[in-house]
Structure 1
Amino acid sequence: MDAMLFYVLVGAVIVAAIGRWRGWPAPLLVTVVALAASFLPFIPDLDLDGHLLLNLVLPPLLYSAALDVSFVGFKRSLPQIRRLGIWLVLITAAAAGLVAWLIFPALTLPGALLLGAIVAPPDAVSAAAIGRKLGLPRRIMTVLSGESLINDATSLTLYRVFAAIIAGATLTVWDGIWQFALAVVVGVVIGLVFGIILHQLRMRVADPVVIGTFGLLVPFGAYAIAEHLGGSGVLAVVAMGLYVGFNAPRTDYTTRQQEAPLWLSADLLLESFVFAYIGLQFKRVLSDLGDESVWHILLLSGAVLLVVLLVRPLYIYPAHALARWQERARLRRWDRAVAAGRFDESRQRPGRPPVTAEQMKARLTEPALDWKDNAVISWAGMRGVVTLATALAAADIAELPTGPSHAIVIVAFIVTVATLLLQGLTLPLLIRRLGVAGDADEEADAAAMAAVRARSREAGKAFLASQRKVWAGKYGEAEMKAFDMFASRMTRVETDTDQAQEVEDSMPKPSYEDLVALSKGWLHVRREVLLAERDADNLDEELMRELMTAIDAEELALDTRGATRTPGRA
């Protein structure tokens, strides 16, 4: 088994690498190749416990995804994310469960609802990969990514409730609501505690290798402790990732540069293995189909698949229309409140960025999604690792008879593979046909970057003015001329990483360290401007991260130049 796991990992990564090289959706390619490989005679059956698969794969994947999600965008799109991540999962689970019970009564109603909970949550890994490749607007990517962060928590909570009922527990609707509330509160609290601790470590420990190692381990701890205390391990990892990701720009740049490729590699390894494992289960699923029940189970699988495909758009469009109607009602109440003088811009919380009436009004509105955006979101419902792993875990429930437990695994597998192939292969075509692209983002980004550069120049001038007084007390007229030339270049061209070397030749030996300090101080000012603009909702967080990466590269070049200086040059 150990050798088999290694071969699967290596093979999956090779196939994924080929897919990335050719520009194909790597998760889909890995799944198809694994499906074909499952029929090879020398490929043994790879059987993993569903709980083990969830505990090993889900925490790092969720944490990595949460690190990359814009917290500001997540908060702004939270109503849309909540509708998809909670209510759509509940409706899908109920609809799929009822259909499954009518077609296959041997499942019993709790068993059918358990199956509904298993197939309810989409996995946005492949959808996000396709969206990034085709340049989907951030408003869509934020909703899809945010949905994938919380829908697993809803699904796994439902799974626990119905598994407990099957095991003989007597639970009411209020008991289920209490379990869900407990899962949310405990999960979020545990995640925030772990996030605060990890952030403090990142702020105080200067070794990026150590911090990166802790980053790999902590998600498993947060997930396990939250689950042990009755909370949602998924929400714990998500809350921790959102907190750490939001505060990542405040840590040392070497930490950010270390962890970015680390998590990209971990994602590639884990995602490749998961989709390879899904494909390799095909032969086993076929062997579990009995001759007498094969058509019955295939009918059940087709019906559940149809429900999964149809419920999503049938829910999204009416829910979006209702949300827009409620939004218009909120805005009318807000306009009346402003007209009546009940909002005073001069009364602001101390220590918080000032908020104007227009900004408050913007917070009452959801990011605009048109019918094309909703069409893409409706078709981006591919299932993945959570569906398959919970189905395998359900097969171990002793109270489930063999027939229904096999049926749950088979249906979950068919729904997972069918949605991956059907929706995954046609989603790019849909995106191209509808013309949904990020052109508007590019225009807004260009305007935001121009505004940030203007603010950076103003902040830089104030910083340089204060530093000029310091230099004036230490150096003479020749050095101050060099300072003025250096300052002029910094305020004119923000990304000139060669400026230190050019000015250095004209300066006396003691000045180089001051020059480096001046450069780093200027970089610090620019970072603070970016953070202030993000916190004031003037700059998209993803754009801020791109600009922060450019500043990090400048500081790395500065440090590298200093480390490689010859001893003879001061």
Structure 2
Amino acid sequence: MEYALAAVAAIVTIVLVARFAPKLGVAAPLILIVVGSLFSFLPFAPSVEVDPEWILVGVLPPLLYSAAVNVPLMDFRRNLKAITGLSVVLVILSTAVSGYLLYLIFPDLDLAAAFALGAVISPPDAVAATAIGKRLGLPGRLVTVLEGEGLVNDATALVLLRSAIAATAGVVSLWGFVGDFVFAVAVAIGVGIAIGFATVAVRARLNNPVLNTSISFAVPFIAYLPAEELGASGVLSVVVAGLVAGHRSATRLTAQDRISERLNWRTVQFILENGVFLLMGTEVATLVVQVEDDDLGVGSAVLIGLLMTAVLIVVRFAFMVPLIASLRRDARRAQTRGVYLDQALDRLRGAPTDDPRVRARASRISRMLARRRADVDSLTAEGLGWRGGVVLGWSGMRGVVTLAAAQSLPRDLPYRPQLILVAFTVALVTLLLQGGTLPALIGRLRVTGASAERERDDLASLLEEISTTGLATVSDTALEGEEPVEPTILTRVRAESVLRAAAVRETGGDGGAHAVYVRLRRRVLEAERAALIEARSLGVHRSTSLAKAEHLLDQEEARLYRHDGGH
């Protein structure tokens, strides 16, 4: 009964905070941490200490999967250099610097154990940062980099933590650590790709949105558990499976499947994301009591936590300098490549295409060049400048993974309660300090994404493009193999595609359906969806426009499905 009451109280608290947080101008996770912390010191509050396995195995996989399926694979690929730098290189650097300082501070702590805590406090949790960034309209590329970093850096940190804990027993050499890291990453990627393809193939055969969504809830664990059993990174496997599933769902799953999955996973993600921050706060009093029972006091542990927070911030900003310089250099080189790509495309268009084989080959090369040209346009249009680098540097908030990983430290480790409190201090201070001031910093630097007008125009252009392809499939006289179609039906079918694009800029309408109309509209929608997938593969349009267009097609297809009795 007590657990049920606690769960109900937690959900009500989360909903209330999420409802009123926007009015206060503060991200909900920050308020939840404060609420949980205040509650933990009340006289009647129970002592809260959650088994870290519940977080690392029960909460982290679905959280990462729900985020990964919504990250466009195209954006992830285009920003792979920045994401890899922040989620791998920076985490390793932060682990080394903070671990060595902790080794100097704690006299009875060996180097491997110090590096273990360094790995614990190194990975930022991008939940609060991306929530703030999306709400304030950060450029899409900045949000993608933050999301990508948050997805991958946990895997890096947990692999480092595992190797460091093994090293405390003297069973890992330097080359053994490097080999273990490479093995964990390679196997995790392989498992994630296999699970992503396999689960989407299975779900595509179910033809039932409820069953489909139910299976999707198991996918994070299906990806996580085998990878862990093989000694690889289960977290990275989940991320890869999510990226693959999100990319392939557009072609393999039905509109009803996507709508159902999208709504249900948004609910799960909302509860888990906010619940873990509330849980973080409720553990404060328990941590303080544990430290008070030991030699090194709470004040000393908190001061060390504040020192480590400052060190991690400095290391992150120092890393931003070469990273942003490298990305700016890439953008300048991309402009030069764009000229060569345009010249190559012009030569290809002017080449003779009488031979069908030559024409097919020219078409493949043209698509490849067009995709690369779109990549160049993306790099030059949304380059990461120094102001964006400052926002990235100040977005290194730590979160629940830091706390859960800290509590998984060996129980016989010297200073274990103090080390956990150090990790909690880092997480709490970065969330409140950086998370609380990030909106003001973004406003002061005037870092904004594309204007609403530009977003609207790009979406309308995409809809017009796919509508043209879709309408080309409608015969002027009849449905194939059927009786002639009334001109009014043809006019209505064509008008709805045209009005949909116009509605983005101005306003539009909706209508009913009968059997002939439904068949015609479905034919148009199938062609439009094929054109949308082609546009996604080329990468010419913004990922936000592609996602909105897919949602519009899904909604119309689902409406036609209902009007046609579900057939």
TM over 0.5: yes
CA distance in 2 between partners of 1:36 and 1:207 (Å): 45
1:14 aligns with 12
2:526 aligns with 524
1:505 aligns with none
Farther-moved stretch of structure 1 (244-253 vs 138-147): 244-253
Alpha carbons of structure 1 residues 326 and 458: separation in structure 2 relative to 1, 3 Å: closer
2:390 aligns with 375
> Is 1:102–2:104 an aligned residue pair?
yes
CA distance in 2 between partners of 1:313 and 1:500 (Å): 57
Give per-residue Cα distances to partners, 1:210-246, cap 9 Å, x unaligned: 1111111121121111011011111110011001111
Match among 292, 304, 307 for residue 303 of structure 1: 307
CA contact (8 A) 1:45 1:284 kept: yes
1:423 aligns with 434
What is the Cα deviation at residue 498 of structure 1? 3.9
Give per-residue Cα distances to partners, 1:542-561, cap 9 Å, x unaligned: 32111111122222222333
What is the Cα deviation at residue 514 of structure 1? 2.6
Normalised by the length of structure 2, the TM-score is 0.88
1:504 aligns with none
Alpha carbons of structure 1 residues 272 and 309: separation in structure 2 relative to 1, 3 Å: same
What is the Cα deviation at residue 390 of structure 1? 0.7
CA contact (8 A) 1:297 1:411 kept: yes
Give per-residue Cα distances to partners, 1:499-526, cap 9 Å, x unaligned: 444xxxxxxxxxx423211111112222
CA contact (8 A) 1:98 1:112 kept: yes
What is the Cα deviation at residue 65 of structure 1? 0.4
The one-letter code sitting in structure 2 at the alignment partner of 1:300 is: I
Match among 141, 162, 171 for residue 143 of structure 2: 141
Size of the alignment, in residue pairs? Answer: 542
Give per-residue Cα distances to partners, 1:412-456, cap 9 Å, x unaligned: 11111111111111111111222222234x344334324323322
Task: Work out the percentage of aligned pairs sharing the same amino acid.
Answer: 33
What is the Cα deviation at residue 335 of structure 1? 7.0
Match among 473, 479, 496 for residue 470 of structure 1: 479
What is the Cα deviation at residue 286 of structure 1? 1.2
CA contact (8 A) 1:167 1:399 kept: no
> Is 1:390–2:392 an aligned residue pair?
no
Alpha carbons of structure 1 residues 136 and 105: separation in structure 2 relative to 1, 3 Å: same
What is the Cα deviation at residue 90 of structure 1? 0.7
CA contact (8 A) 1:89 1:117 kept: yes
CA contact (8 A) 2:459 2:548 kept: no
CA contact (8 A) 2:18 2:28 kept: yes
Farther-moved stretch of structure 1 (204-213 vs 16-25): 16-25
Farther-moved stretch of structure 1 (153-162 vs 352-361): 352-361
CA distance in 2 between partners of 1:409 and 1:326 (Å): 41
1:552 aligns with 554
What is the Cα deviation at residue 497 of structure 1? 6.4
> Is 1:354–2:366 an aligned residue pair?
yes
Query: For 2:408, what is the secondary structure of its paired residue?
Result: helix
CA distance in 2 between partners of 1:208 and 1:315 (Å): 45
1:535 aligns with 537
CA distance in 1 between partners of 2:98 and 2:85 (Å): 18
CA distance in 1 between partners of 2:522 and 2:374 (Å): 36
CA distance in 2 between partners of 1:459 and 1:105 (Å): 71
- For residues 299-338 of structure 1, the aligned pairs below 5 Å read 299-325=303-329, 328=332
Alpha carbons of structure 1 residues 139 and 326: separation in structure 2 relative to 1, 3 Å: closer
The one-letter code sitting in structure 1 at the alignment partner of 2:545 is: L
What is the Cα deviation at residue 398 of structure 1? 4.8
1:44 aligns with 46
1:275 aligns with 277
CA distance in 1 between partners of 2:552 and 2:108 (Å): 60
1:400 aligns with 413
CA distance in 2 between partners of 1:500 and 1:543 (Å): 26
Farther-moved stretch of structure 1 (255-264 vs 139-148): 255-264
Alpha carbons of structure 1 residues 539 and 336: separation in structure 2 relative to 1, 3 Å: closer
CA distance in 2 between partners of 1:349 and 1:211 (Å): 38
The one-letter code sitting in structure 2 at the alignment partner of 1:360 is: R
CA distance in 2 between partners of 1:531 and 1:132 (Å): 25
What is the Cα deviation at residue 487 of structure 1? 4.1
CA-atom RMSD in angstroms: 2.8
Alpha carbons of structure 1 residues 405 and 41: separation in structure 2 relative to 1, 3 Å: same
CA distance in 2 between partners of 1:456 and 1:385 (Å): 43
CA distance in 1 between partners of 2:344 and 2:557 (Å): 51
What is the Cα deviation at residue 68 of structure 1? 1.0
Alpha carbons of structure 1 residues 355 and 456: separation in structure 2 relative to 1, 3 Å: closer
Query: For 1:543, what is the secondary structure of its paired residue?
Result: helix
2:447 aligns with 436
CA distance in 2 between partners of 1:28 and 1:427 (Å): 12
CA distance in 2 between partners of 1:335 and 1:153 (Å): 39
CA contact (8 A) 1:382 1:424 kept: yes
CA contact (8 A) 2:471 2:494 kept: no
CA distance in 1 between partners of 2:340 and 2:557 (Å): 50
CA contact (8 A) 2:493 2:521 kept: no
The one-letter code sitting in structure 2 at the alignment partner of 1:47 is: E
Normalised by the length of structure 1, the TM-score is 0.88
Give per-residue Cα distances to partners, 1:126-173, cap 9 Å, x unaligned: 11111122222211110000001110111011001100011231x222
Query: For 2:500, what is the secondary structure of its paired residue?
Result: coil
Query: For 1:437, what is the secondary structure of its paired residue?
Result: coil
- For residues 149-228 of structure 1, the aligned pairs below 5 Å read 149-169=151-171, 171-228=172-229
Farther-moved stretch of structure 1 (234-243 vs 348-357): 348-357
1:257 aligns with 259
Alpha carbons of structure 1 residues 409 and 446: separation in structure 2 relative to 1, 3 Å: same
Match among 408, 411, 414 for residue 422 of structure 2: 411
What is the Cα deviation at residue 491 of structure 1? 4.8
CA contact (8 A) 1:86 1:151 kept: yes
2:65 aligns with 63
Alpha carbons of structure 1 residues 457 and 211: separation in structure 2 relative to 1, 3 Å: closer
Alpha carbons of structure 1 residues 437 and 16: separation in structure 2 relative to 1, 3 Å: farther
Match among 290, 305, 316 for residue 288 of structure 1: 290
CA contact (8 A) 1:15 1:29 kept: no
Query: For 1:532, what is the secondary structure of its paired residue?
Result: helix
2:505 aligns with none
CA distance in 1 between partners of 2:342 and 2:140 (Å): 31
Alpha carbons of structure 1 residues 321 and 353: separation in structure 2 relative to 1, 3 Å: same
CA distance in 2 between partners of 1:268 and 1:333 (Å): 42
Query: For 2:19, what is the secondary structure of its paired residue?
Result: helix
CA distance in 2 between partners of 1:554 and 1:424 (Å): 39
CA contact (8 A) 1:353 1:536 kept: no
Query: For 1:470, what is the secondary structure of its paired residue?
Result: coil
Alpha carbons of structure 1 residues 351 and 488: separation in structure 2 relative to 1, 3 Å: closer
CA distance in 2 between partners of 1:39 and 1:278 (Å): 13
CA distance in 1 between partners of 2:471 and 2:525 (Å): 13
CA contact (8 A) 1:124 1:381 kept: yes
The one-letter code sitting in structure 2 at the alignment partner of 1:379 is: W
What is the Cα deviation at residue 57 of structure 1? 0.6
CA distance in 1 between partners of 2:142 and 2:342 (Å): 31
The one-letter code sitting in structure 1 at the alignment partner of 2:498 is: R
What is the Cα deviation at residue 16 of structure 1? 2.3
CA distance in 1 between partners of 2:72 and 2:91 (Å): 23
The one-letter code sitting in structure 1 at the alignment partner of 2:17 is: G
> Is 1:493–2:503 an aligned residue pair?
no
CA distance in 2 between partners of 1:539 and 1:306 (Å): 40
CA distance in 2 between partners of 1:528 and 1:497 (Å): 24
The one-letter code sitting in structure 2 at the alignment partner of 1:20 is: A
2:2 aligns with 3
